[in-house]
Amino acid sequence: MVHGGAEKSRQRLKVGFCRLRPAEDGDMALPVYHSQLAAGMDVRAALAEPAVMEVGTIRMVPTGFSVAIPAGYEIQVRPRSGLAIKHGITVVNAPGTIDADYRGEIMVGLINLGAAPFTINRHDRIAQLVVAPVTLAEAVEVDALDSTVRQDGGFGHTGL
């Protein structure tokens, strides 16, 4: 399948990223898409020095940026597949959500589920940021729910 016109057909949304510590983190690249059809922008670690993550540990990793997301959108913080598959490094609350009214530093909660310690260095790509629309729901109390084939069958109910 040829994707020649795909870049033009993708919706563009301006999202403002603000450096929180320009003197210390002026060298940090803005989050960026690494291929024409990528869904997520890679975000990098703004660590002052390398951080070793022992097996089973959780660490909040700074990015050096805050963000202004337009109303009606969120940013989802997702793992990078290469880190997850090769090293067991993933986002602990995947996907994390950055709400449109949050203005603090983007921090990425990572966990080492791998078999060995892993070192995160400054500028390492640590997660992906996916901008997504948000639909608000209105909770309405009802007396009963409609019937379905599945009904209350829980985890694994529909098979492997």
Closest CA to 64 of 24, 120, 124, 16: 24
Closest CA to 53 of 124, 128, 104, 106: 124
CATH at residue 122: 2.70.40.10
Strand partners, 78: 128
pLDDT digits 0-9 by tens, 62-82: 999 999 999 999 999 999 999
Residue 156 maps to a domain: no
Residue 106 maps to a domain: yes
Domain range for 91: 38-133
Contacts of 34 (CB under 8 A, 6+ apart): 42
Q: Number of structural domains, the chain?
A: 1
CA atoms within 13 A on the CB side of 25: 22
Largest CA distance in the chain: 60
pLDDT for residue 153 is more than 90 = no
Residue 60 maps to a domain: yes
Residue 75 maps to a domain: yes
Residue 160 maps to a domain: no
Residue 125 maps to a domain: yes
The structure's pTM equals: 0.86
pLDDT digits 0-9 by tens, 19-65: 999 999 999 999 999 999 999 999 999 999 999 999 999 999 999 99
